[in-house]
Structure 1
Amino acid sequence: MITKKALLASGIVAALGLWSLSQAAGQGAMAPATPAPRLGLSIADARAGDAPRPLPALDPAVKARADALFTDADAVGETRALLVLRDGKLIYERYGAGFGPDSKLISWSMAKSITAVLAGFMVADGRLSLDGPAPVAAWQRSGDPRGAIRLRDLLHMASGLDHVEEGDPVWASDTVTMLFGGGAQDMAGFAEAKPAVARPGEVFNYSSATSVILSDILADTLTPSPNSEARREAMRDFIAGRLIEPLGMTSLTPEFDAKGTMIGGSIMHATARDYAKFGEFLRHHGVVNGQRLLPESWMRFMLTPSANDAGYGGHIWLNRSRPAGVTPALWPDRGPNDLFACIGHQGQYIIVSPSQRVTIVRLGITKDDQFPELRRHLADLQGAL
């Protein structure tokens, strides 16, 4: 993920902040800085505009650790939304000044896990193969080593392509060039044109460009049309029928590039409650209201450590030790092994702890040097539960 420091150096962070704030405007964004309890509410039944409900008794240690994510802003950055669910029911819900239950906030890289679930639906439908060659037209020429890249390799961030997530200077990174520079008009074309520098499955290389390649594969599978609007509509319809409607994630809004490719690695928007619904869907291993939507085998794949980084599964972060010298994504020295998370730039988290029957959503703005404290605060909250 691109560092905040690097973005500051380039001035790009100002644009990113405005982008995030613009999505909150007009979405209940002027709610006061209050716990806004709507508690006792089942997240599966939560709808925009729900009236407040009485707050059940909450363990003081849990409340103190949750409140600290707002009051310790100098240490952890700005928290805009924090939800804690146990057994699918909200036990804590609070928003920062200017945000509320109807505020749509940017996902950043939490979108990667949503993209992985969409790929899982297509594999379950028999439209894609996890271990067959990834169907990317640009890689199908005879002798092209990229033709050996599998869907599995893309989902494990092990394509072997020459993708650079963080550059020095920042504009040398693929992600900035792809999202805001010369690759922005055709993000998948930019990402897929990169040469192979390693064999598929050989090296872990976290890359937002990889997730855009997956998004391109999904769109190509849904429609043969190169028309950008046809691609957008096909993807929107698929997401609505397989994810938004069954889960009630009515605020989920994916963004697309000019070619109609979903920006599946970094730019979706939703309310905190709808991100929580996605977390609950993962906690229940793809089952909603007793109905299995995603095969258990796909959830096992997503939550199995990848070969080159045990802290990463199939486009999702795991609470496992990472290779020596690599910054931990979660807190494997403290939390349960089955804990996992969708994590995005600037401190977006959907944290799921199945053994505790708990889901936590934290959305906000955190700087690079604040991340150790943010992780500690989140680990403290999870531990108190």
Structure 2
Amino acid sequence: MNTLRSLLPIATLALLPALSSCGDVPPEPAPLSEDALAAITADAGAPTSELAREVDDLFTREGLGETRALVVMQNGKVAAERYSPGYGPDTRFVSWSMAKTVTAVMIGMLVADGRLRLDERAPVELWHRSGDARGEITLRQLLQMSSGLRHTEAGDPPYESSEVRMLFLDGRDDMARWAEEQPLEAEPGAKFEYSSNTSVILADIAARALTDSEDPEIRRRAVADFLEARLFAPLGMTSMVPEFDASGTLIGGSLIHGTARDWARLGEFLRRKGTGPGGEQLVPSRWVEQMVTPSPRSPQYGFQTWLNRPLDDPEEEHPLFPDRAPASLFSLIGHMGQYVIVSPQQRLTVVRLGHSNTEERIAMLQQLADVIELYPVR
């Protein structure tokens, strides 16, 4: 009997590999690399090893595309920061459609200054001719992408895209003029239609609020100086480079360049409802609140900003993840997987910049949700 008892522990140990292979004992995760651990700071705000692993997966897991930069800020401090080889803290990344939210902030400042009116007819001279129904389009409807102007964001073949035609073909020298010349395809305010061209119209309206000149250089300088003095400099966003077309209009739907850290600074500014790092109010808090309020025709969109609100049709693809994060979460989203995600209830800003195709982006977004879920909702 004593011999039998002494053999039982040995027999149990011998069975462990078999039990493990049956799935009863989960396999040990692979050791974290030095790069994975080095990305996490002392102010992580989440379990270090778990955050390091989720961040590492964004850079190494197959099927997510190429993550080139990631910055996680929690409660105003950098929690994690990592770059792919060839990229770093000084690399300027193109915004693509994240520029739209910058344009919305600029419009908010001009509304606060009294130079524009949110619910009056948009100040586009071309639309104010007698009998032109486009004259009823308001600034609010432009911000909410419900102007009713004819538009096709992504065409097949690509040259049938209104955005491609504006940026690269017949509209490229005066993008706003080309976008403003489009006829109505719906009553203003009746239909949501995501449109990069609409953001260029907003940028043109901003330029005309700042200067009466038609000189391209004067228009360009007026907008660039305004953004620098009122937004970029107060936030310490020293890397920002906005692009303009030949007529001096900011390409406000797609072309502003900046480092990952500066995009994180913008996200933090919005998380703080428009205040700078020293507490100065750069744009009214009520304007940021309107930016993240669902528009009447699209619950997932506010003023040039994507929202984490559930859709009426559960089968429709959502741009974010309402089942995995608070409804108050919102995001700047750019082509090929550029994200600045802000979750006020988690005191969190997450910047992911890189290159993912449509299928990869869907999978990558769920990996970003894995990072965000590590932080408690307050």
Normalising by structure 2, we get a TM-score of: 0.87
- Structure 2 residue 216 is the aligned partner of structure 1 residue 216: no
Residues in 1 aligned to 2:175 and 2:332: alpha-carbon distance in whole angstroms? 22
Residues in 2 aligned to 1:196 and 1:369: alpha-carbon distance in whole angstroms? 33
Residues in 2 aligned to 1:40 and 1:143: alpha-carbon distance in whole angstroms? 63
- Count of residues in correspondence between the two structures: 340
Shift of 1:163: 1.1
Shift of 1:227: 0.3
**What corresponds to 1:19 in structure 2?**
none
Alignment of 1:307-318 (within 5 A): 307-318=296-307
Residues in 2 aligned to 1:233 and 1:36: alpha-carbon distance in whole angstroms? 41
Alignment of 1:1-385 (within 5 A): 39=41, 58-72=47-61, 74-288=62-276, 289-324=278-313, 325-385=315-375
> Residues 56 and 37 of structure 1: is their aligned pair in 2 closer, same or farther, counting only changes over 3 Å?
farther
Moved more, 203-212 or 57-66: 57-66
Shift of 1:322: 2.5
Shift of 1:39: 4.2
Moved more, 266-275 or 177-186: 177-186
Residues in 2 aligned to 1:143 and 1:311: alpha-carbon distance in whole angstroms? 34
The answer to whether the Cα contact below 8 Å between 1:232 and 1:262 also exists between their aligned partners in 2 is yes
Write the deviation string for residues 261-316 of structure 1: whole angstroms up to 9, x where unpaired: 00000011000000000000000000111111111210111010011110011110
Where 2:339 maps in the other structure, the secondary structure is strand
Identity of aligned residues (%): 51
Where 1:94 maps in the other structure, the secondary structure is strand
Residues in 1 aligned to 2:216 and 2:36: alpha-carbon distance in whole angstroms? 42
Residues in 1 aligned to 2:203 and 2:275: alpha-carbon distance in whole angstroms? 23
The answer to whether the Cα contact below 8 Å between 2:40 and 2:52 also exists between their aligned partners in 1 is no
Shift of 1:40: 5.8
One-letter amino acid of the structure 2 residue matched with residue 334 of structure 1: R
The answer to whether the Cα contact below 8 Å between 2:294 and 2:302 also exists between their aligned partners in 1 is yes
Gaps of 5+ in 1: 1-32, 42-54
Residues in 1 aligned to 2:37 and 2:99: alpha-carbon distance in whole angstroms? 26
One-letter amino acid of the structure 2 residue matched with residue 348 of structure 1: Q
> Residues 159 and 64 of structure 1: is their aligned pair in 2 closer, same or farther, counting only changes over 3 Å?
same
Where 1:384 maps in the other structure, the secondary structure is coil
Where 1:280 maps in the other structure, the secondary structure is helix
The answer to whether the Cα contact below 8 Å between 2:45 and 2:74 also exists between their aligned partners in 1 is no
> Residues 99 and 133 of structure 1: is their aligned pair in 2 closer, same or farther, counting only changes over 3 Å?
same
Residues in 1 aligned to 2:57 and 2:337: alpha-carbon distance in whole angstroms? 15
Shift of 1:35: 7.2
Residues in 2 aligned to 1:262 and 1:34: alpha-carbon distance in whole angstroms? 38
Runs of 4+ in 1 over 4 A off after TM superposition: 33-41, 55-58
Residues in 1 aligned to 2:158 and 2:316: alpha-carbon distance in whole angstroms? 20
Residues in 1 aligned to 2:252 and 2:40: alpha-carbon distance in whole angstroms? 31
Shift of 1:59: 2.4
Normalising by structure 1, we get a TM-score of: 0.85
Residues in 1 aligned to 2:244 and 2:149: alpha-carbon distance in whole angstroms? 23
One-letter amino acid of the structure 2 residue matched with residue 70 of structure 1: F
Shift of 1:326: 3.1
Where 1:287 maps in the other structure, the secondary structure is coil
Gaps of 5+ in 2: 1-34
Shift of 1:250: 0.7
> Residues 56 and 354 of structure 1: is their aligned pair in 2 closer, same or farther, counting only changes over 3 Å?
closer
Where 2:231 maps in the other structure, the secondary structure is helix
Shift of 1:362: 0.2
> Residues 143 and 179 of structure 1: is their aligned pair in 2 closer, same or farther, counting only changes over 3 Å?
same
Residues in 2 aligned to 1:381 and 1:179: alpha-carbon distance in whole angstroms? 35
Where 1:75 maps in the other structure, the secondary structure is coil
Residues in 2 aligned to 1:255 and 1:167: alpha-carbon distance in whole angstroms? 24
Where 1:320 maps in the other structure, the secondary structure is coil
Residues in 2 aligned to 1:151 and 1:57: alpha-carbon distance in whole angstroms? 41
Where 2:63 maps in the other structure, the secondary structure is helix
Q: Based on CA coordinates, which of the two structures has the bigger radius of gyration? A: 2
Shift of 1:132: 0.6
One-letter amino acid of the structure 2 residue matched with residue 169 of structure 1: P
> Residues 56 and 327 of structure 1: is their aligned pair in 2 closer, same or farther, counting only changes over 3 Å?
closer
Residues in 1 aligned to 2:69 and 2:60: alpha-carbon distance in whole angstroms? 13
